[in-house]
């Protein structure tokens, strides 16, 4: 929150232990802008939660998951999160830490040996592209928590107009807030500004939760991944 008085009062209510819900609403009514932000935030989370619950049932029933994406107020994203251009010296270690967590999440039912082998493969690949100067963005919360990243690199010097996505993920606690969509849009705009023409995403970098976003953004599926004309 950018309103210290509201922040302090809400914190006090949450730690009071009595009449929390009523007092929380009373404090919000005193700060209309904070109240608006809270309801937008709450509605997005509720929509994501209900959609995930219903999709889990559809999966059990053998049906295709629904792609329901709540509307995102872009101004709220920039109120609560900051976006920075990728800097290898500053961000590489954090990205590799998060990559390890993502691998363990999406491959949780695989043996540890397989998970570690896949992480080492992704890490080596990321380090290889990092040596050729990757570009992209990272996102952090107001509490300085790492909230996501996207990076891309030239495939070879012989194909300077074609870029390959080398990382793109958002930690589970920050999903559903529009961070991934904002990072992808910013990355594509930056590549276009630098006169790049194509962005390829190999299958190795794609999880199920990414596919709907890629299709909405204009990517087309190809034999070994996804492709978009910038």
How many other C-beta atoms are found inside a 10 Å radius of the C-beta of residue 24?
15
Q: For residue 63, what is the DSSP state?
A: P
Residue (of 177, 224, 180, 216) closest to 200 by Cα position: 224
Residue 200 tokens read as 């390829």
Rounded to 5 degrees, what are φ and ψ at 155?
-70, -50
Compute the average pLDDT of residues 187-191: 95
Q: Where are the alpha helices (DSSP H) in 61-73?
A: none
The tens digit of pLDDT for each residue in 98-129 reads 888 888 887 888 899 998 998 898 888 888 88
Compute the average pLDDT of residues 32-37: 72
Residue (of 82, 192, 57) closest to 148 by Cα position: 82
User: Would you call 99 helix, strand, or coil by DSSP?
Assistant: helix
For the chain, what is the mean pLDDT? 82
- For the chain, the structural domain boundaries read 4-60, 74-229
The tens digit of pLDDT for each residue in 205-227 reads 677 777 888 888 899 988 888 99
* Residue length of the chain: 230
Higher model confidence: residue 38 or residue 213?
213
**140: which strand partners?**
82, 146
DSSP code string of 111-135? -HHHHHHHHHHHHHHHHHHHTT--E
In angstroms, the Cα distances linking 106 to 25, 31, 44, 178, 179 are: 38, 41, 23, 20, 19
Fold assignment, 74-229: Aminopeptidase (3.40.630)
Q: Are strands 220-222 and 225-229 parallel, antiparallel or unpaired?
A: antiparallel
Residue 224 tokens read as 């070994």
**9: which strand partners?**
none
178 Cβ neighbours under 8 A, 6+ residues apart:
72, 74, 77
In angstroms, the Cα distances linking 142 to 25, 33, 74, 77, 155 are: 23, 18, 16, 11, 34
- pTM, two decimals, is 0.66
């Amino acid at each position: 929150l950018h309103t210290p008085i509201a922040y302090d009062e809400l914190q006090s209510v949450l730690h009071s232990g009595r009449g929390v819900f009523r007092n929380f609403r009373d404090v919000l009514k005193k700060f209309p802008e904070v109240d608006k932000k809270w309801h937008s935030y709450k509605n997005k989370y509720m929509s994501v939660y209900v959609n995930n619950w219903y999709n889990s049932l559809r999966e059990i029933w053998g049906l295709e998951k629904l792609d329901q994406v709540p509307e995102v107020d872009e101004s709220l994203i920039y109120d609560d999160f900051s976006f920075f251009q990728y800097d290898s010296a500053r961000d590489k270690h954090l990205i590799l830490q998060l990559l390890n967590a993502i691998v363990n999440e999406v491959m949780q039912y695989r043996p540890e040996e397989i998970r570690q082998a896949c992480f080492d493969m992704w890490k080596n690949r990321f380090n290889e592209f990092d040596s050729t100067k990757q570009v992209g963005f990272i996102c952090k919360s107001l509490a300085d928590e790492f909230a996501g990243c996207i990076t891309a690199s030239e495939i070879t010097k012989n194909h300077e107009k074609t870029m390959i996505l080398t990382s793109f993920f958002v930690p589970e606690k920050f999903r559903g807030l529009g961070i991934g969509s904002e990072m992808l849009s910013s990355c594509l705009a930056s590549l276009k500004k630098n006169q790049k023409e194509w962005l390829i995403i190999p299958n190795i970098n794609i999880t199920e939760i990414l596919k709907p976003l890629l299709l909405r953004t204009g990517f087309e599926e190809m034999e070994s991944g996804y492709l978009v004309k910038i």
